[in-house]
Structure 1
Amino acid sequence: MRQGQAEKRAAILRGARKVFGRDGYTRTSIESIAKEAVVSTRTIYNHFPGGKVQLFRAVVVEGSEPVVEARLDAIDRRLYKVTAAELEQELVEFVRAWVASSHRFADHFAVVRQMRVESAHLPQEFLTAWRQSGPQRASDALAERFERLAADGLLVTDDPARAARHLLLLTVAEINEQSFHGALPLPDGAEDAIIESGVRAFLQGYAPR
């Protein structure tokens, strides 16, 4: 793909992400995306012959990639070669980095919010493609790292995947619930308080006695 074509495709995806995140899938039209991206509808169909269906899938799948990379990086930086004395603080820093990726890629997560609202009306293929390209990859990597922490005696669990889910439920899920999945900013210090208390609760259940 020539540079000009690549830039045009990127502009279409940016515009589509903005409109899908604002209006949802059902109410979004190719015309509204063209207006946001400052291109013609013909240009959109040249790049995405499948129209809105193909474009939405690209927005969801390609938008997940930088989020996953940021979260995999957080796993590698914070949960690799951890000592027992460091574990609580490293878990806190890891969750902070995980949450920071939600803020950094706010346009992507606006689309995710709309997907949750419209999930009953979206093709199952959309939801599966998003889950496999994004959340599942990051969750699998976290479970794998928790398995290593358990093998090193830092966690006690025979189900690392469930332990990983519990950590995220005690921290990220509560932040999402209180902020309506990022739609409303929390007061200063609220995220840190949730993360720190959630990590402590997690370790009460999973740290060695």
Structure 2
Amino acid sequence: MSSGNTAKPRPRGGLADKRRAILAGALTVFARDGYSRASIDAIAATAGVSTRTIYNHFTDKTELFRSVIQESATRAAEAQIAVIDRHLRKVTDLEADLVEFGRALAEPTAAEHTEHFSLVRQINAEAGHIPQAVVDAWQETGPRRVRRELAGHLRRWAEEGLLRVADPERAALHLMLLISASGASHPAVATGQEIDAMVTSGVHAFLYGYRA
């Protein structure tokens, strides 16, 4: 028989939901205002929480920024690595396959990861005002991880005699820069024709320097 004093189960996921809301709100504000100009008050308002709640989860703005950029970079990197694996695992026509890869790589950049790449532009614009440890953590979580994945394919193609590559990671960086949507006037609004022209010319330039 129940005593009537049984404790009610606590709702699950409350803290996790608050943390997700904070990170989402912070991504929006940091992507819009940058690291230096973003305020905890603005982040709290965007996330729909109090500033006290933010400080219950994060020590200060720097820790919050580091968490935001690493989480966002992880999602973007995983999307890019999936594109690399899907398009470059097996190639039949190196130039055509690289062009298709470049087009596919631009799609998540222009769609679901728009805020992330806006944040990256903010980081590049004010890198001198952001703690170096935060910048290094972002680089390792995102861009360097993607480059290492791409470098593995370039190394394999060099071994197969398709490319001349002395440093696969540097070659991967060159390829990413040449086909990057950041070369458009604004990646989020670049037309399909602009992206296609940019990717095609970028692949031509890459192969001019690296084709065996």
TM-score over 0.5 (shorter chain): yes
Q: How far apart are the structure 1 equivalents of 2:55 and 2:89?
A: 45
Secondary structure at the residue paired with 2:89? coil
Mapped partners of 1:169, 1:16: distance in 2: 28
Tell me which residue corresponds to 1:91. Answer: 98
Structure label with greater radius of gyration: 2
CA-to-partner distance for each residue in 1:19-48, whole Å, 9 max, x for gaps? 111111111111111100111111111111
Q: 1:39 aligns with which of 41, 49, 55?
A: 49
In the alignment, is residue 190 of structure 1 matched against residue 194 of structure 2? yes
Q: Note if 1:108 corresponds to 2:116.
A: yes
Alignment partners' CA distance in 1, 2:83 and 2:30: 28
Specify every segment of 5 or more residues in structure 1 that has no aligned partner in the other structure, as ranges: none
Displacement, 1:61? 0.5
- d(CA) in 2 for partners of 1:46 and 1:27? 22
Identical positions, percent: 49
Partner of 2:30 in structure 1? 20
Partner of 2:141: 133
Counterparts of 1:1-209 in structure 2 under 5 Å? 2-48=12-58, 50-83=59-92, 86-103=93-110, 104-172=112-180, 175-179=181-185, 182=187, 185-208=189-212
Distance 2:96 2:168 in 1: 19
Per-residue CA deviations over 1:60-107 (Å, capped at 9, x if unaligned) read 101111111111111111111223xx2112111211222222222011
Question: How many residue pairs end up in the alignment?
Answer: 201
Computed over aligned residues only, the root mean square deviation of the Cα atoms, in angstroms, reads: 1.8
The offset of 1:187, in angstroms, is 4.2
User: For structure 2, which runs of at least 5 residues remain unmatched after alignment?
Assistant: 1-11
TM-score, normalised via structure 2 length: 0.88
TM norm structure 1: 0.89
